[in-house]
């Protein structure tokens, strides 16, 4: 049995949402030091820990979704609603994304609105709220590689350097954290070089 094995984390363990609670690490546009982006009550805050620069941002807009425990397959699901008309109903019948079973669910509104720039900015290694470069950010064959914060960085290094990777036992069929990684990061021949680059980032203060 290989000694160096790792159990992957559930999907979304390290996400922009979870990182914003503890602090998303970004580079201060004024001094280049490390700052944190956090969110509280819908208000986003950037605070540089080196020069003290601070910035606030309120993003308006809400997200709508139907959450349910599927009566047919037993899975918990979350269906986002983008259609404005659908968003006005208190209850809506939507199909389960796993098995297609249709049942009514309450339409919920969440304040954690918007990544307007969203995924595209994250893909380039920038925070989607202020557009600052992520602090833990490097390049690999011309592609940006980044971590949201120190915990996420440690996870990536652990995952990529493990000899054997397992899915969490509770949900072998469901997506896991590593499913969020682009293919080039998971390619076996890249892993060693990637881990070295990520370890270099760990030394950044
Ligand atoms: Zn600064
Ligand atoms: Zn279902």
The enclosing H or E element of 165 equals strand 164-166
What six digits make up the tokens of 55?
């910035």
Statement to judge: residues 72 and 160 lie in one domain: no
- In this prediction, the residues of the chain whose per-residue pLDDT falls under 50 are 1-2, 115-117
Global pTM value: 0.71
pLDDT attached to residue 116:
45
Task: Give CA–CA dist 149/128, Å, rounded.
Answer: 14
The Å distance, Cα 54 to ligand 1 centre, comes to 9
The Å distance, Cα 47 to ligand 1 centre, comes to 8
* Residues 29/66, Cβ–Cβ less than 8 Å: no
Structural domain count, the chain: 2
What six digits make up the tokens of 31?
């001094």
The Å distance, Cα 32 to ligand 1 centre, comes to 6
Task: Give CA–CA dist 66/80, Å, rounded.
Answer: 7
Statement to judge: residues 135 and 195 lie in one domain: yes
In the numeric block, the tokens 């390290």 are attached to 14
Statement to judge: residues 51 and 25 lie in one domain: yes
| CA distances from residue 115 to 16, 59, 75, 127 in whole angstroms, order as listed | 10, 9, 27, 9
Statement to judge: residues 122 and 28 lie in one domain: yes
Residue 102 has phi, psi (to 5 degrees) of -100, 125
Statement to judge: residues 123 and 134 lie in one domain: yes
* Residues 109/174, Cβ–Cβ less than 8 Å: no
Q: For residue 65, list its beta bridge partners.
A: 80, 108
Nearest to 154 by CA among 27, 16, 13, 28: 13
Statement to judge: residues 87 and 41 lie in one domain: no
Expressed as residue numbers, the domain containing 101 is 63-110
pLDDT attached to residue 117:
46
pLDDT attached to residue 62:
73
Interval 114-144: pLDDT, tens: 544 455 678 789 998 899 999 999 999 999 9
The Å distance, Cα 71 to ligand 2 centre, comes to 7
Task: Give CA–CA dist 71/102, Å, rounded.
Answer: 9
pLDDT attached to residue 175:
77
In the numeric block, the tokens 């998971």 are attached to 186
Statement to judge: residues 118 and 158 lie in one domain: yes
pLDDT attached to residue 120:
67
* Residues 160/143, Cβ–Cβ less than 8 Å: no
The Å distance, Cα 195 to ligand 1 centre, comes to 28
pLDDT attached to residue 3:
60
């Amino acid at each position: 049995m290989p000694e160096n094995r790792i159990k992957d984390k559930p999907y979304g363990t390290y996400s922009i949402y979870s990182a914003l609670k503890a602090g998303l690490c970004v580079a201060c546009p004024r001094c280049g030091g490390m700052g944190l982006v956090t969110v509280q009550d819908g208000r986003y805050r950037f605070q540089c820990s080196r020069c003290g620069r601070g910035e606030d941002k309120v993003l308006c807009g809400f997200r709508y979704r139907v959450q349910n425990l599927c009566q047919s397959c037993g899975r918990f699901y979350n269906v986002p609603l983008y259609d404005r008309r659908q968003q006005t109903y208190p209850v809506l019948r939507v199909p389960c994304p796993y098995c297609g079973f249709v049942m009514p669910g309450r339409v919920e509104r969440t304040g954690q609105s918007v990544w307007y720039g969203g995924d595209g900015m994250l893909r380039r290694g920038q925070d989607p709220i202020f557009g600052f470069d992520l602090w833990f950010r490097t390049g690999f064959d011309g592609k940006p590689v980044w971590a949201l914060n120190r915990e996420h960085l440690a996870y990536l290094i652990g995952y990529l350097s493990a000899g054997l990777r397992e899915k969490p036992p509770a949900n072998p069929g469901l997506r896991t954290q590593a499913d969020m990684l682009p293919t080039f990061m998971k390619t076996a021949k890249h892993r060693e070089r990637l881990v070295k680059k990520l370890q270099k980032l760990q030394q950044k203060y």
